[in-house]
Amino acid sequence: MTQDEKWLTRYNEVKTFIETNKRNPSKHRLEEHDMLNWLKANRKVMNAGLLKAERVEPFLQLLGLIEKYKRLNQYI
């Protein structure tokens, strides 16, 4: 599996999680830490201007989805 395939797999996993659960990955749940760490790492790379060009647009869409559910009470 190439790096691009791994990235896309994780991207789809995070996107599906947010759309299904109507919330962002929680820092308080161990099983969601991998997704949260992936998001933080990619945000850091993007802000440094080092994210691959073909990944920027999908990642920006994902950040838009995250913004939609930001600070949403996950226990509703």
pLDDT of residue 69: 87
Region 47-57 average pLDDT = 96
39 within 8 A of 25, measured Cβ to Cβ: yes
Integer CA distances (angstroms), 27 to 33, 42, 55, in order: 6, 16, 24
Q: What is the largest CA-CA distance in the chain?
A: 39
pLDDT of residue 1: 87
65 within 8 A of 22, measured Cβ to Cβ: no
Average pLDDT for the chain: 92
| Per-residue pLDDT at 40 exceeds 80 | yes
CA–CA distance, 50 with 60 (Å, rounded to integer): 14
Q: What is the DSSP code (8-state) at residue 51?
A: S
